Chain A
């Protein structure tokens, strides 16, 4: 019963957060959006009328003509519902409803690789690439981190342990994107091993595309792993150290099970819950960071899309990607919560408060 209630509360909170995020995004960009839409209509109406010369000839003086144009514009503004401000309840409700059902409308400037300007299509074309890059990097990071962390917790104070800890502190002080710039400088220009731009130059339907993509992915993955694994190893080490002080481990030691076996099978298994939880959280965290990392490496994912949308103020894309990013973020937090609740019964019964 406890777990169910816990999940429902968490789920409701998450939904609330999603709605608040949506509302915040719309209210931050809403007024700009209206101005842009209205300008678009004016431009469109004028273009239509000037193209059709017979309409223009039917008027005696320019004022009458202007009046006609204005009337046309007003008509169109009204049919689109732009005469009420963006913060009026029905428009706000309608916008939010449309976003909720993943109908983001059309992008103002940007298009997908296939030429579509439907925001949903653009986002779903870019999202797999972001997920590919960051999941690969996170998996590699966690494997290296767990192995290294377990090894250093096996011999606390040893050389491995000290190097790992130092590396963890130092590496996490550098911004990923700066290391990215350095890596591009060294491995793409000084030694031309990897391409500088991470966007493959061949078409997506080419059979060699996957290989090209993997090759272009190498430099960003190496960079993310380089910056990330130290902190992971340190984290795993600290969990393990905590567990190694528990009574059941001491008991196993007294029975005479070898220390190596205790570390790698018993202790690691017990450290798994927090590790898995943090794994889910760090995946979500890296999605936000994707904006800068992808901008540096020119990786054709959500982050770069977001950055491009910001630089040309493509509002439908900004709203759409913020929404999708928030959803992804919330889903991973939710999964982390779920795992945490599953592994740690104290959370779901609420006995710790």
Chain B
């Protein structure tokens, strides 16, 4: 045990490359957390498990930066806004929405959806067609907006998977030289001679015909479902993984830091008190410590999560139950040494209260050790929580990294080769752990000179 001032610790720490690396990574993670909390609306994580929210996103798409690395360009997910034209011929009024796409990828898009919000009265006919790069026009769908006597605002979605589209496409069968066993999207974007992507400019047109009345288009977009999206891709449930991973950062830091601070504080006070009191108290407290130490942690955490609650805050409490034990043991032996020092004896003779001696004279001595233990015990807390979430026992209202991996495992991401769903969460868990290990080891080397070589 040595008395090191905070100033010495700081200057020693600044000399340690490992410690600085840890601090550097940790500040990066904290920065990400701050940006996430302040920039990304909280509704994104509250609706993480709400499929409705993610319907306009593509399904299991690779991160879009993959296109920079591969020769074959994977179609990116696109949301195209309409250009609206209005015209009239005699009593027929036409509202036309046009979506232009320059399609230069080497694979078919997965699907497309038209989503529009319109204001109208009476009946309107809707015709959807596409003009292809080779000049052929395909009529896709003829339908109508539901009749309404009063002015209404109507939300409508047209899906490429609509069986009517497939039926209409069948009338063009003679133009194509291949079997129509493929999806509508793969026919629309195909060359004539074989089922292969045709690159170029496509124009999708949604015409709405009314009698002496226009349809007012309030919102309109076409979602061209790609196979590449965003920075991190999407999962089977169309969720943007970037958002899940970003929200996971503050959550992991919160879980790790609160568990470790909680357990170090409890362990420290418990151990110091036990060591300071000595005799029977010490014996009883250490036996209790032994009991907790010998409990198999993971089975118990699982039972607690299943029977009591899997709320994230309770989980932090459960994790603390199992992680203060080792710290209590070490701080007990340290306080055994400190209490024999003369100034403690002096304080005792002067009649100071036990609590005052412990908090004023013994605990401050152990602070450097406490900081090192806090840093060292963070990774275990994060991995244990991730492990529980991985087993499906996590708090469903928060998207943690463990839960993303749980979903990946449930949907067979490994079998289907969705690497972008498996790799990033694990790396983030490890990086966060490493940052704290580096800081902890650097602090430990300063606090325990024995390890210095």
Residues of A within 8 A of B (CB): 13-14, 16-17, 20-21, 24-25, 28-29, 32, 156, 169-170, 173-175, 177-179, 181-182, 184-185, 188-190, 196, 241, 287-289, 291-292, 295-296, 306-307, 310-311, 313, 318, 321-322, 325-326, 329-330, 333, 353
Contact = CB atoms under 8 A, between A and B. Distances in A.
B387 A17 contact: no
A14 B426 CA distance: 37
B304 A28 contact: yes
B299 interface: yes
A333 B426 contact: no
Interface of B: 287, 290-291, 294-300, 302-304, 306-308, 336, 379, 383, 386-387, 390-393, 405, 408-409, 413-415, 417, 419, 422-423, 425-426, 429-431, 433-434, 437-438, 441, 453
B299 A291 contact: yes
Contacts of B300: 24, 322
Contacts of B430: 170, 173-175, 178
14 contacts: A13-B290, A20-B295, A28-B308, A173-B430, A175-B429, A178-B405, A181-B413, A189-B414, A292-B390, A310-B306, A310-B391, A310-B393, A326-B294, A329-B294
Given A13-B291, A174-B426, A292-B387, A185 B419 contact: yes
A353 B437 CA distance: 31
Contacts of B393: 310
Nearest to A327: B296
A177 B434 contact: no
Contacts of B336: 353
Contacts of B433: 173
Nearest to B332: A353
Contacts, number: 126
B379 A318 contact: no
Contacts of A310: 302-303, 306, 391, 393
- 6 smallest CB-CB distances across A and B, nearest first, come from A178-B426, A173-B433, A185-B414, A288-B298, A17-B294, A173-B430
Contacts of B409: 181, 296
Contacts of B453: 156, 241
Given A20-B291, A175-B383, A292-B391, A185 B422 contact: yes
B228 to A, nearest CB: 20
B299 A325 contact: yes
B450 to A, nearest CB: 9
A322 B414 CA distance: 30
Given A175-B387, A178-B430, A181-B426, 5 more contacts: A20-B295, A29-B307, A177-B390, A182-B423, A310-B303
Contacts of A184: 414
B422 A25 contact: no
B299 A32 contact: no
Contacts of B386: 175
Given A28-B307, A32-B307, A321-B299, A17 B417 contact: no
B410 to A, nearest CB: 11
Contacts of B415: 189, 196
A307 B307 CA distance: 14
B294 A14 contact: yes
A310 B441 CA distance: 37
B443 to A, nearest CB: 15
B414 A188 contact: yes
A169 B303 contact: no
Contacts of A32: 307
Nearest to B18: A169
B307 A182 contact: no
A13 B296 contact: no
A329 B426 contact: no
A29 to B, nearest CB: 6
Contacts of B299: 288, 291, 306, 321-322, 325-326
B202 to A, nearest CB: 35
Nearest to A179: B426
Contacts of A325: 296, 299
B298 A291 contact: yes
B296 A178 contact: no
Contacts of A174: 426, 429-430
A181 B307 contact: no
Looking at B408, B414, B417, B430, the one whose CB has the most chain A CB atoms below 10 A away is B414
A17 B295 contact: yes
A237 to B, nearest CB: 11
